[in-house]
Structure 1
């Protein structure tokens, strides 16, 4: 097939159009995948309206990440074969600088000019019948039924907090505070991933009492929830934990502002670790002397290391990460507008909107 159906973003603020476009042409070091299930981010419509100012060269086939089956491999692939089920990792890195590779999030965004340069070749995302990837970004899933593909697409959500928890060096038996919507899309996934990695306890702050109660129902005593009030929240976070808080993972969206980030960060123990992965745009005022005298590690993390998808798949295959927690709502590619609306307005906790080309 030399042509394929794809959704196209031609201009920020305009609806996606469905068109027939040339199919990708496979090269060495690449894999061509038939897309079976592509997740739709809750904020995808914001990106496509131009509200988030993401670096995205137009026109583009959007869509970050997918579950699919290998259609064809390049001549240097030694393990993947036609028909294999794979997780399509959207975090594409340049290969000519091992220390600081340029990165593009396929079909969504980029980091700097180098990431934009990568978009020239790997810019087309997953809202299409076929997807071209670097070979290392097609990660084997093992046997799968087609009906299961939408649920396995939840791995693309879990990869984000997994990258942050790996950056924090989370160890089994530690206590994690998930700051930034433990009741939201990435935050709720972070709770599940932290527990799958062996966290003894996850402290989950939020303002939605029903959502917090749902977390306790799902995970039991290993999750301790805190209703935020804006007054004395740092002390209440500390008191809620069964012991010192070892890791704080921040996933707050741009709308949150820096105050709740600081509230959570200041709850970490001496020699604890703080990882920032959210979208807050304003500067974070963290006391210099507090950081220094308490030997606090504070770092940012964008996405995940190259090896993360394979180890996350292993957690799911072992049953430690229960993808059955996620409910899925599926749309045909022809209904991409409805899928975007649903993703933006539907409940986000352990819920996934999926396009099935």
Structure 2
């Protein structure tokens, strides 16, 4: 019988353990037995795990995300394979990988969770997080599904530019977790090189990542927001002339005029928070599209009133997207390894901070305060 392949995994490791939802936090760093690889899984050593800007609200209970307690929280991460199950065919111990936290049921792809973060939308999804995939990546080691580990070309990504590498560091690679979401939304409406893409709001963590992703896909970007200072930061994410900014005023006629100064747009990508459900920018951005325009909606959990007559008159297509596909992740990694999708300083992206497990409160606070354009916070066990 084939045996699982492992490196020298220690018997005990440190984790950030959430006991219950309580404000401010009922979380502490504890020692637990290190997970072992079984068929269908890999154990990865966590090198850096992303921190959402609202992580503090989620794990204190102020933002009511459903998850089982107690458990180890976490998110997508950069890791190194420490062990693989006996059914692994390509993944090897020692490989640098991107772990994607969006896990699907193998016998029901409609069942899904966000590992270490979100239960899912139905009882069958909940099973994934209640049992096998309960514990996330805010830990020294994490057991994850084989199919959620994406090998990275370490020499290309981390190697010296003098030797053909891109010169990134591990913190730079952690930005993949921000890019993955908008790439899913941009690809679902088939963004093509040379097209004009309106991105709103472009000033948050995922909106600004959408700007970086759309530029890498060859698009021109119209970045939309209300904060002029933040919009200027977004503009700096792209080369001269590739990013134009428009401040939303609430006057639909005026805003459409600003959006269409260089002609109608091809795509409108939106990743608004639920508080923006009644914002006028939905109408303005849709009316700024040309005939056959496409709309990608990724904003969570809100009901919208859209300008249906205008949409019908221009044959506008609307698609709603939650997260992304595995092929979207592979596409993203190919863009990065080719040098088209810029990370780190080259892409105008910087780390607000890298924090050990014990400094989780500082990590959550930093992510909340510095979650703007091109910023990321990382827990590095």
Normalising by the residue count of structure 2, what TM-score does the alignment of the two structures yield?
Answer: 0.87
Q: Is 1:5 the equivalent of 2:14?
A: yes
CA shift at 1:216, angstroms?
2.7
Residue range with higher mean Cα deviation, 161-170 or 46-55: 46-55
Are residues 1:209 and 2:219 paired?
no
Moved more, 312-321 or 150-159: 312-321
Instruction: Give the conservation status (yes or no) of the 8 Å contact 1:55–1:116.
Output: no
Structure-2 residue corresponding to 1:306:
326
Match of 2:350 in 1: 327
Distance 1:115 1:30 in 2: 18
Name the stretch that deviates more: 27-36 or 227-236: 227-236
TM-superposed CA distance for 1:347, in Å, is 4.6
| 2:112 counterpart residue number | 103
1:214-255 alpha-carbon deviations (Å, 9 max, x no partner):
333342201110111111354134324x33211111111223
- Quickly say closer, same or farther: Cα 1:227–1:234, change in 2 above 3 A: closer
1:236 correspondence with 2:246: no
- Residue 288 and residue 46 in structure 1: after superposition, are their counterparts in 2 closer, same or farther (change >3 A)? same
Q: Is the 8 A contact 1:262 1:284 kept in 2?
A: no
RMSD: 1.8
| Stretches of structure 2 lacking an aligned partner (at least 5 in a row) | 1-9, 160-167
- Alignment pair present for 1:162 and 2:189: no
Check conservation: 1:258, 1:282, Cα contact below 8 A.
Answer: no
CA–CA distance in structure 2, aligned partners of residues 189 and 237 of structure 1: 23
Does 2:297 align with 1:276? yes
Q: 1:123 to 1:65 in 2, by over 3 A?
A: same
User: Which residue of structure 2 aligns with residue 150 of structure 1?
Assistant: 171
Query: Could you tell me how far apart the structure 2 residues matched to 1:190 and 1:245 are?
Result: 16
Please point out which of 116, 119, 129 is paired with 1:119. 129
Q: Aligned to 1:272, what secondary structure does the other structure show?
A: strand
Cα gap change, 1:294/1:253 in structure 2, threshold over 3 Å: closer, same or farther? same
Aligned equivalent of 1:172, options 188, 193, 197: 193
1:12-51 correspondence runs (5 A): 12-14=21-23, 15=25, 16-51=27-62
User: Unaligned 5+ residue runs, structure 1?
Assistant: none
Once residues 135 and 58 of structure 1 are traced to their aligned partners in structure 2, the CA distance between those partners, rounded to angstroms, is: 24
Contact 1:127/1:333, CA 8 A, preserved across alignment:
yes
Conservation of the 8 A alpha-carbon contact between 2:211 and 2:237? no
Write out per-residue CA displacement over residues 291-315 of structure 1, whole angstroms, 9 at most, x where no aligned residue: 3332221121011011122211111
Scaled by the length of structure 1, the TM-score of the pair is 0.93
- SS, match of residue 45 in structure 1: helix
Report Cα offsets for 1:177-206 as digits up to 9, x if no partner: 1012x121111110010010111x100011
CA deviations on 1:239-292 (whole Å, 9 max, x unpaired) are 24x33211111111223233233432333222111111112x442112443333
What is the CA distance between 1:150 and its match in structure 2? 1.4
Distance in 2, Cα, partners of 1:69 & 1:126: 12
State the partner residue of 2:306: 286
How far 1:86 moved relative to its partner?
0.1
Aligned runs of 1:218-229 on 2, under 5 Å? 218-219=237-238, 220-229=240-249
Runs of 4+ in 1 over 6 A off after TM superposition: none
* CA contact 1:202–1:222 (8 Å) conserved in 2: yes
Question: Cα distance, 1:68 vs. partner?
Answer: 0.5
What is the SS of the residue equivalent to 1:107? coil
